[in-house]
Structure 1
Amino acid sequence: LLSHTRGFSTSMKRFLVNSGSNTAAKVAKVEAAPTGASGNVATRPKPLLTPTILTNEDISQARTSVLDKWTSYGGIMYKLSGPRKDVTDMVAFDMDGTLITTKSGKTFAVNEHDWKLWDPSVKTVLQRLHAEDKYLAIISNQSGVKEKKITKEALQSKVDSVIEALGVPMDFICAVEDDRFRKPRTGMWEFLCQARSATSSSASDASSGTTTVATTASVATKVFDPNEIESNYSDDEYAQPRASIAPGTAATFSTTAITTSTSSSPPLCAPLMFASSLYVGDAAGRLKEGTRNKDFSDSDYKLALNLGIEFATPEKYFLGSTSRLHCQLPDPSVDVATPVRMIDVASATDNKDDSFFLAPETRAEPGPVEIVLLAAPPACGKSTLARRFEQGGYTRVNQDTLGSIDKCLLRARESLCQKDQRSVCVDNTNMDPKARARWILLARELNVQIRAVALSTPREVCGLLSSYRLLNPNTEPGDRRKIERIVINTYFKNPVYPSPSEGFTSVETVSLDLVLPTEPQALRLFHMYIK
């Protein structure tokens, strides 16, 4: 189950315990989380070799990008600076708090002019890297655009000024939405790799806005089947690639061995694994120490972990600091005091009682119809559980699908009162007694039993599942929606769990297990830190 995952499951493992529940399902094995990195090297990375988050449209957009021109695409804004020969590695930087800081001394810039270089050494180091012919890029989260704290035009002007002050050509890309491109997700890095594979080895005419896409020969030396990618790794969760794909190998993944690409051909995936790539950022998850506040995030460090590349804080990289605070990074796992049993409900297993999900009227000894009311937080796996009941013969009633609680009650009444009566599973959050009361009244009116099934998924897991569901290319279209953090937090602020005193025939608590995905892209996504 989770034993082969890295970032996502490292957070999840803290929630797992080796104990059963009332559905007697198997429980995932608990494994120790990795220790923090020493120095600037990400802990036991599993290098990312090919695009994981990008869609075919993303790759096509990247490989036909116009040079020296600001471009907005989906949730990113970027500018590629001039043609460059093929690159073998990338040195990339966060911007705010790494290359620059505020002149005002405030945490956040008051306007696009409120900045200065983080330290004079920044310009010196970058100019040395440029002299060494390194490929330099800025990869930044800029949520202020969406929050209307800064306009795109003002941000573009600011970035142009920063790069001019640094005196070296640099590509810039930023995420303005909470989607596949936002760090620590690897979308921006992947996008630059695809863009540079085209622009660095093919003719580009910025003035006419056209770019010739490179052929496979100029991008890669070997073609691998994406369905075989995981076989190139050992079973060790953090294993390096086997010798068949050595670090730094130019590898492209394609379902067919395409030798030439045109604008109408399927996009070719350039390699993401470079010989000595590095990411430098201040969001390293460092804890409060003395008068220094804790880092606001660990997204920069997690990006490096996701990619399997080296990472450095700006203090270490630019100033040469050897301080433990700047060099020894904490384990980015989630710490949760209360564990939860994660039970597999996605497929039947020999050690699980399927009668738990079987509608009473469909059993060998039929019983009267009933209502099963789920009480669970958003993004906890509730709909997965509901579909299992649906497979067992229940009519699934979901407010997101039907649009209102009144329509849900009407659909349930129809199912319970029709000639061929069918039990009902209510697939809503039902977060308080008031929301559940209408269903209890319906059960009394129709003289049917109603039992509550509560899911005990912790808040942190719900947040992870919400992000994974949004990013997973195999998520059902109806389920691929963003659930804001405030919605999840509101549920857990004052939860009132169902009780028999409300009028339920019984109240049962279950937990969900996560089944390791089998589709290669989803599996690689599952390995990542996504929050």
Structure 2
Amino acid sequence: MTSEPTGPSTTQLRASHSFQARPAQLCSSTVATMAPSKPASPPTNKRKIDAPISPPPVKRTAQSSISKSAVSSFFTPTSQKPKERIQWSERAADDDTPATLLVGRYEPEKLGESDRRKRRKIAAFDLDSTLITTASGKKHGDDPGDWKWWDSKVPARLRQLYKDEDYQVVILSNQAGLALHPDPNSKGPKNLGRNRVTKFKQKCSAVLTQLDLPTTLYAATGKDIFRKPRTGMWKEVCEDYDIPQDEVDLENSIFIGDAGGRTAQLKTGSTSAVAKDFSCSDRNFAHNVGVPYKTPEEYFLGAKSRDFSRDFDLAIYPYPETADGADVVFEKKHDQDVVLFVGPPGAGKSTFYWKHLKPLGYERINQDTLKSRARCFKAAGEALASGASVAVDNTNPDADGRAEWVALARKHQVPVRCVWFRTPLGLCEHNDVVRALNRPLNPEARTALPKLAFNGFAARFKEPKAKEGFEDVVEVEFRFRGSKDEYAIWGRYWT
């Protein structure tokens, strides 16, 4: 008799081939069904049926977002870490307002005795379009790395000023696009302002590190005393470097910035034009401080100066030397009447009232204090009913609005007169800011108005005429009315 074969049967081999091709979870049941009654020695090339059929997934190492240098820095003692070259701080205009001035003070790794001495000559520079510009060509670069020197001569000239000519070099920049303390109630992304400040710091750190001079950068982010042409940043420079303002060598100090009020002009030998400057704030700042001014082209490239103009020129409004009595332009003609003011914000209407009409017994009707036009009419009606005269201290730009006051005067059977303040808008903006930023000149604690308020008046304004129902129209040209000490404040550029 022939013996039974010891290897697997044909049926077993087919079963083995069949379950190897099936998913792993089916293998155990298949083996249980098709296994022989007696165990047989499997061939050497047979795979183990209880092993996973598919290859196991490859284990991937998790990528950490923490760099090795960051880990190393974390475990490095503070005393062994490299010193941060630039120290940032924030400052406020007063104790009642949040900080708006960002200050970054840079110190090189090694400071010598010459770096610690007091320097009385100050070379101050604007930042954008003066020391640096965007590498991409964009007007405003958002990327901290999107910058290059305005000209290749810039860093060498600044080092020469500091090392060879004994100047204290500082940077003074208006940065209204930054917000150190954003309004939590404002609309839009909550972290946008914070992100912009972070990127600005990164860019400035790169600029100052490459320059590598002991210097300080001041960035005015608000529209307060720190913003050029106002002199708040200059005052901070003098205090930070322990130089009394009256001890600064103003004659040999200098300020360089691109906002010089330059007018548009044709390029030499070309039909294309050089655009006008966006403002005159840098030139006006230098005037306020009392130092010479140059544009970047003049200072770094030796270019000739260009024509410039100001929207508001202080030279037109010197301190009046005539006696106050010569300034009286208004007299009361009736026992009772209505006087209607017409003029933009900041035209001097309220000052005129307190100086000339209040002593004559006029009751003041003012929408800033009464808060609504309806309340103004109500208060005026009550005053007229009681026998008093009233002065309507509002802007009253259009004939339709003025007609309502004429009608009120007729209702109470009293004459109505008009006082027209013919003050240029640029001068009005100046007056408004002077008042808002100087408490002694701001008894009603008014805040500065947006430019929209002045443009809105100009869009609605119609020249007042006697035919509207006025007994007369008295025109008042602007004239500074105040002491010499007050003029010392007023007679600087503020816008």
Same fold (TM over 0.5): yes
Q: Which residue of 1 aligns with 2:349?
A: 382
Alignment equivalent of 2:221, drawn from 164, 176, 180: 176
- Alpha carbons 1:94, 1:280 under 8 Å: kept: yes
Alignment equivalent of 2:288, drawn from 306, 311, 314: 306
After TM superposition, the structure 1 = structure 2 runs for residues 63-142 of structure 1, keeping only pairs within 5 Å, are 68-74=87-93, 75-82=100-107, 84-132=116-164, 133-142=166-175
- Alpha carbons 1:287, 1:295 under 8 Å: kept: yes
CA distance in 1, matches of 2:490, 2:310: 15
CA distance in 1, matches of 2:217, 2:251: 21
Tell me: CA distance 1:69–1:389, structure 2 relative to 1, closer, same or farther (3 Å): same
CA distance in 2, matches of 1:275, 1:384: 37
Deviation of residue 359 (structure 1)?
6.8
CA distance in 2, matches of 1:138, 1:157: 16
Query: SS at the partner of 2:130?
Result: coil
Tell me: CA distance 1:487–1:301, structure 2 relative to 1, closer, same or farther (3 Å): same
Tell me: CA distance 1:88–1:500, structure 2 relative to 1, closer, same or farther (3 Å): closer
Tell me: CA distance 1:477–1:154, structure 2 relative to 1, closer, same or farther (3 Å): farther
Tell me: CA distance 1:176–1:486, structure 2 relative to 1, closer, same or farther (3 Å): same
The answer as to 2:384 corresponding to 1:416 is yes
1:193 partner letter: C
1:99 partner letter: L
Tell me: CA distance 1:378–1:130, structure 2 relative to 1, closer, same or farther (3 Å): same
Q: Which residue of 2 aligns with 1:294?
A: 276
- Alpha carbons 1:358, 1:393 under 8 Å: kept: no
After TM superposition, the structure 1 = structure 2 runs for residues 400-439 of structure 1, keeping only pairs within 5 Å, are 400-418=368-386, 421-439=387-405
CA distance in 1, matches of 2:318, 2:345: 16
After TM superposition, the structure 1 = structure 2 runs for residues 151-300 of structure 1, keeping only pairs within 5 Å, are 151-197=196-242, 271-274=247-250, 276-289=252-265, 290=267, 291-300=273-282
CA distance in 2, matches of 1:343, 1:314: 33
* Structure with greater contact order relative to length (CA < 8 Å, sep ≥ 6): 1
Q: Which residue of 1 aligns with 2:454?
A: 488
CA distance in 1, matches of 2:471, 2:462: 18
Q: Alpha-carbon deviations, 1:129-154, whole Å to 9, x = none?
A: 33335321110111112597872222
Q: Mean Cα displacement is larger for which, 74-83 or 391-400?
A: 74-83
After TM superposition, the structure 1 = structure 2 runs for residues 42-61 of structure 1, keeping only pairs within 5 Å, are none
CA distance in 2, matches of 1:192, 1:112: 26
Tell me: CA distance 1:306–1:130, structure 2 relative to 1, closer, same or farther (3 Å): same
Q: Alpha-carbon deviations, 1:73-108, whole Å to 9, x = none?
A: 243211233483322211111100011001121222
Give the paired residue count.
Answer: 374
CA distance in 2, matches of 1:313, 1:477: 39
Q: Alpha-carbon deviations, 1:91-128, whole Å to 9, x = none?
A: 11110001100112122224433211112221222233
- Alpha carbons 2:439, 2:445 under 8 Å: kept: no
CA distance in 2, matches of 1:530, 1:300: 11
Structure 1: runs of 5+ lacking an equivalent:
1-66, 198-218, 220-251, 253-268, 362-368
Alignment equivalent of 1:471, drawn from 437, 441, 456: 437
Q: Which residue of 2 aligns with 1:523?
A: 487
Structure (1 or 2) with the larger CA radius of gyration = 2
1:158 partner letter: K
Query: SS at the partner of 1:525?
Result: helix
CA distance in 2, matches of 1:407, 1:448: 20
Tell me: CA distance 1:175–1:357, structure 2 relative to 1, closer, same or farther (3 Å): farther
2:122 partner letter: M
CA distance in 2, matches of 1:341, 1:523: 10
Q: Which residue of 2 aligns with 1:510?
A: 476
CA distance in 1, matches of 2:317, 2:240: 44
In angstroms, what is the RMSD of aligned CA positions?
3.0
- Alpha carbons 1:463, 1:488 under 8 Å: kept: yes
Tell me: CA distance 1:112–1:480, structure 2 relative to 1, closer, same or farther (3 Å): farther
Q: Alpha-carbon deviations, 1:22-81, whole Å to 9, x = none?
A: xxxxxxxxxxxxxxxxxxxxxxxxxxxxxxxxxxxxxxxxxxxxx823324243211233
TM-score by length of structure 1 reads 0.64
CA distance in 1, matches of 2:446, 2:297: 40
CA distance in 2, matches of 1:80, 1:93: 15
Q: Mean Cα displacement is larger for which, 185-194 or 307-316?
A: 307-316
Deviation of residue 173 (structure 1)?
0.4
- Alpha carbons 2:175, 2:220 under 8 Å: kept: yes
CA distance in 1, matches of 2:199, 2:291: 32
Query: SS at the partner of 1:78?
Result: strand
Structure 2: runs of 5+ lacking an equivalent:
1-85, 94-99, 108-114, 183-191, 268-272
Alignment equivalent of 2:334, drawn from 330, 347, 360: 360
The answer as to 2:359 corresponding to 1:391 is yes
